[in-house]
Structure 1
Amino acid sequence: MLSRRHLRVKVLQSLYALQAAREADYQLALDFISESFRPDLNSMTPQDPRKLEGMRKMTTLLLEENYRKGDITQDEDTPPAAFVTAKNALRYYQDLFKKDKQRISRQLTPEVEAIYNTYLLLLQLFIELGALSQGERERQYDDPDNKPLSKVAGFDTNRVVIALTENKTLENEFIRRGITWGKETTGLVRTLFRDVFRNDDAYRAYCETKEHTPEEDLQLMLNALKEVILKNEEVVTFFELNDLYWSENGDLARKMANKSLKSTIEETGLQLVPLTDDWEEDRFFMEELFEQTITRNDEIEQIIAEPLKNWDLERLAPMDYLILKMSVSEMMSFPGIPVKVTINEAIEIAKEYSTPKSGKFVNGILDTLSKTLIKEGKIRKSGRGLLDNK
């Protein structure tokens, strides 16, 4: 199950992707200017390389000074060619960035929901392994290409696999979300069973004993998931191709799967783990935090500029800057979240995703900013947001 911290990290990753896109788009706008003033080797009119280079520099400066304002005005000293080219470069940059913003914004929620799909896919994988195990045990002859495997037990006799296979709620969830190890991955699952588990010492030992305790059944599954499946190169490659943040999301999906696997031997029976405690509310928080941080970007940057005026911004870790922007946005946009909660979450995220000293740095800046913003009335809390964890 994902916590609000996980959601904040997802927003941070999207903001980082957007920042990278912004820089790439700006570079493309500069390339547009350079191309506009490149000497035309096919022209019959003599070209003056020095004049063209001067125009390129002037146009580049025009764009640099005005692109954040969103418009370029012409003064008397600006050559028409430089003005028109800068104007076109700005429009080109704005169009590119608008598309990138829309793309990254649209991807945010589906990328988080994909963690839940991966969790379901891991559970379904055990059902597929169970079916292969059953076919193996029912076959009247041994596979000549592999060393014999005891047919006393297998995945299909495992209590946990049986609970997964027989659970109608889980089956309906697979159907509703279109979860399947389809034709393109059938070979992967077969290879995992035939070449990996058939040669795994723990699984082979399990197959040689008919009777197992619930705890032994569960331990086989937990070990298989962590030590075999998620360490298999082909499986990892499959998930990495479908998830840019697999190294992090895979661990979240595994923990969710572990909870469901453990529940199968408890009195409650199989329990599906929701993505969050309240996905509708948490999704709104995530999407709104991302949107507010972008929409209020200029305002937030001005707010942050004051306490950072004595810092060398060139040496400031980019992730620290994004964490500060996101946190200021949260403090001003969510009346129900206490300031201390926002700051503490920012500290922990900075420790994990930025530099060793980032936690202390972020804490100091946000503490100063929060006091100032409260005095100015830019932070207004209500309800739970008034709680202060001193």
Structure 2
Amino acid sequence: MINRELIRIKTVQLTYAYYQNGSKNIESAEKELLFSLSKAYDMYAYLLALIVGITKESRRHLEVAQARAQREGTEMPSQKFAYNRFALQLEENKMLNELMETQKKSWNDNPEFLKKLYLQITESQIYHDYMTDEQDDYAADREVWRKIYRTFIQNNDDLDALLEEESLYWNDDKDIVDTFVLKTIKRFDEKKKASQELLPEYDSEEDKDYARKLFRYAILNADEYHHLMSETSINWDFSRLAYMDIIIMQVAIAEMLSFPSIPINVTINEFVEIAKAYSTPRSGSYINGMLDNIAHHLIETGRLLKRIDDRNDKITQ
């Protein structure tokens, strides 16, 4: 689940923190990086467990409604949402239950949030359409949760505040983690029952090694990278760049020089996007131009044995 996009962002953040905290202990900083990445995986499990929490909340409301209907002699309420087949499969998922047991967290600790979110869902058109749809199968059950997640969980200020209280490491990760939760919902297969695999923490040991190396190269070769920035910033006032811009370029140059399999254009594009999200409004343009100059300089001096696709290397701002 932890992909290179998230690794790049975390490496930039932890490199910035490395210079800000003053201790300059690279071993401790590297452990902090890996711990921060692991917390993103914890959030992934916690957000999947939210679906289970909402489903349990729906069953509590169903029990009350059933008791009332029985007492008043009215029609019994539908169990369709409370016993949604996808949600029940997720509730029984072995891997998710193990992850949540390790975290020692439960959505039962946030009853008011669950109740409010459940009521928002039941008042929506998505819920109404699902409950009245004649289609009653696993695919429909899974699809309604994909829609609910995108509408009520993906952009939810109350949830964002709650997650921030739960972990300081969860401030900036949710947008990326949301994409993996949605991917997981889509790939669930009814036939796999409780044994359905969730996304692994890392796709491969190579990605974990990439995180370690990227961070170390960025720190250990900082002076060399700063010299390159200064040397190639003819059209930019290097001294006036935001400090975060310098950190972003420092990590980008580390990737350019140290990972031969990653195309230059990919590196430039990825770090320009990070600049747009985490630095100043003009940072994307500055960093695109400077990294392009640095890459050409490294190629011309024989230090970088890669090529730039000149048709695509400029980012449209």
TM-score, normalisation: structure 2: 0.76
Question: Relative to 1, partners in 2 of residues 1:200 and 1:335: Cα closer, same or farther, differing over 3 Å?
Answer: closer
Aligned counterparts, 1:296-307, within 5 A: 296-307=221-232
Contact 1:137 1:151 (8 Å CA) reproduced: yes
Question: Relative to 1, partners in 2 of residues 1:337 and 1:149: Cα closer, same or farther, differing over 3 Å?
Answer: farther
Structure 1 counterpart SS, 2:203: coil
Structure 2 counterpart of 1:373: 298
Taking the aligned partners of 2:286 and 2:235, their CA distance within structure 1 comes to: 13
Deviation at 1:204, TM superposition (A): 6.0
Structure 1 counterpart of 2:174: 250
Structure 2 counterpart SS, 1:337: coil
Question: Relative to 1, partners in 2 of residues 1:286 and 1:159: Cα closer, same or farther, differing over 3 Å?
Answer: same
Deviation at 1:389, TM superposition (A): 4.7
Taking the aligned partners of 2:235 and 2:125, their CA distance within structure 1 comes to: 61
Structure 2 counterpart SS, 1:157: coil
Question: Relative to 1, partners in 2 of residues 1:217 and 1:125: Cα closer, same or farther, differing over 3 Å?
Answer: same
Q: Deviations over 1:214-264 (max 9, x none)?
A: 443234312332323455544321112234464642122222111222223
Identify unmatched segments of 5+ residues in structure 2.
Answer: 311-317
- Counterpart of 1:235 (choices 154, 159, 172) is 159
Contact 2:163 2:171 (8 Å CA) reproduced: no
Taking the aligned partners of 1:304 and 1:231, their CA distance within structure 2 comes to: 38
Question: Which protein has the larger Cα radius of gyration, Structure 1 or Structure 2?
Answer: 1
Deviation at 1:106, TM superposition (A): 2.8
- Counterpart of 2:115 (choices 183, 188, 191) is 191
Taking the aligned partners of 1:314 and 1:294, their CA distance within structure 2 comes to: 20
Taking the aligned partners of 1:324 and 1:131, their CA distance within structure 2 comes to: 47
Structure 2 counterpart of 1:156: 82
Aligned counterparts, 1:342-381, within 5 A: 342-355=267-280, 357-374=282-299, 376=301, 378-379=303-304, 381=305
Structure 1 counterpart of 2:203: 277
Percent of matched pairs sharing the same residue: 29
Structure 2 counterpart of 1:330: 255
Contact 2:138 2:190 (8 Å CA) reproduced: no
**Which letter does structure 2 place at the counterpart of 1:226?**
R
**Which letter does structure 2 place at the counterpart of 1:134?**
R
Deviation at 1:188, TM superposition (A): 4.2
**Which letter does structure 1 place at the counterpart of 2:159?**
V
- Output the aligned Cα RMSD: 3.6
Deviation at 1:275, TM superposition (A): 4.1
Deviation at 1:130, TM superposition (A): 2.5
Deviation at 1:281, TM superposition (A): 1.4
- After TM superposition, the runs of 4+ consecutive aligned structure 1 residues lying more than 6 A away are 208-211, 266-269
Structure 2 counterpart of 1:11: 11
Taking the aligned partners of 2:43 and 2:166, their CA distance within structure 1 comes to: 10
Structure 1 counterpart of 2:31: 106
Residue 92 of structure 2 corresponds to residue 166 of structure 1: yes
Identify unmatched segments of 5+ residues in structure 1.
Answer: 23-95
Taking the aligned partners of 1:369 and 1:233, their CA distance within structure 2 comes to: 40
Greater relative CO (CA pairs within 8 A, separation 6+): 2
Structure 2 counterpart of 1:33: none
Question: Relative to 1, partners in 2 of residues 1:172 and 1:149: Cα closer, same or farther, differing over 3 Å?
Answer: farther
**Which letter does structure 2 place at the counterpart of 1:305?**
S
Question: Relative to 1, partners in 2 of residues 1:113 and 1:149: Cα closer, same or farther, differing over 3 Å?
Answer: farther
Taking the aligned partners of 2:111 and 2:162, their CA distance within structure 1 comes to: 12
Aligned counterparts, 1:60-79, within 5 A: none
Question: Relative to 1, partners in 2 of residues 1:251 and 1:321: Cα closer, same or farther, differing over 3 Å?
Answer: same
**Which letter does structure 1 place at the counterpart of 2:14?**
S
**Which letter does structure 1 place at the counterpart of 2:178?**
R
Question: Relative to 1, partners in 2 of residues 1:157 and 1:289: Cα closer, same or farther, differing over 3 Å?
Answer: same
Residue 229 of structure 2 corresponds to residue 295 of structure 1: no
Contact 2:142 2:185 (8 Å CA) reproduced: yes
Taking the aligned partners of 2:288 and 2:152, their CA distance within structure 1 comes to: 41
Structure 2 counterpart of 1:286: 211
Structure 1 counterpart of 2:314: none
Taking the aligned partners of 1:109 and 1:218, their CA distance within structure 2 comes to: 33
Taking the aligned partners of 1:200 and 1:310, their CA distance within structure 2 comes to: 54
Q: Deviations over 1:51-73 (max 9, x none)?
A: xxxxxxxxxxxxxxxxxxxxxxx
Contact 2:154 2:175 (8 Å CA) reproduced: no
Q: Deviations over 1:162-201 (max 9, x none)?
A: 22123334334434x4363166x24345534665445556
Deviation at 1:161, TM superposition (A): 0.7
